[in-house]
Amino acid sequence: MDKSNIFIISGPSGVGEDSVIEGLRKYFSIERVITTTTRPMRKGESNGHPYYFLSLEEFKKKIGADEMAEYTQEYNNNFYGVTKKELERVAVSQKVGIWKIEYKGVITAKKKFPEIKSIYIAAPSLEILKKRILRRDPSVSEEYINERMKYTREWIENENIYDFKVVNEEGKLEETIEKVAKIIKENL
């Protein structure tokens, strides 16, 4: 099944990929690819919003049955991934599919689904990224910041896996959204 209406949008924490995705709604009718996870459901969440929630046993059954398009075990020891069925649901939706995924998942996705274009959202610098994370939650620990910066360096080292890169400059979110929308229009 052709999945060329699906676009990966990803970037490290604090670059603004969620804001970009929301801004794209001005340009397109969007269908989000919903990730499946083994992490516990939090207050205000429900199955399908923002994740499909499974037990570890159920998730491993899906892996064993080759039902996962991609998956990974994250630093918090929970599994995250997308089922093949979910990609098919979005592919037939007649909408622009948006798949938010971290870079390790992009590596797998690009091998399995080369028709899916990937867009890397980057911050202008690590220092600006650090400021954005602190602005979002001033109470985060120095340890958390250092962990995020280390993980961000891994993203930067792997940015060549993406088809496109858009820098989300400070105070220029609308321009970033326009650039991403243009990439999508040109590749639909």
- Token duo for residue 114: 């080369």
CA–CA separation, 176 vs 182, rounded Å?
A: 10
How many Å is the Cα radius of gyration of the chain?
Answer: 16
The residue extents of the domains of the chain are 6-187
CA–CA separation, 59 vs 124, rounded Å?
A: 37
For the full predicted model, state whether its pTM sits above 0.75. Answer: yes
| Residue range 51-83, pLDDT digits in tens | 999 999 999 999 999 999 999 887 678 999 999
Report the range of poorest mean pLDDT among 17-26, 94-103, 141-150, 167-176.
Answer: 141-150
Please state the CATH superfamily assignment of the domain spanning residues 6-187 in this structure: P-loop containing nucleotide triphosphate hydrolases (3.40.50.300)
Residue 92 is classified by DSSP as T
Q: Which helix (H) or strand (E) holds 30?
A: strand 30-32
| Residue range 115-166, pLDDT digits in tens | 999 999 999 988 888 888 888 888 888 888 888 888 889 989 999 999 999 9
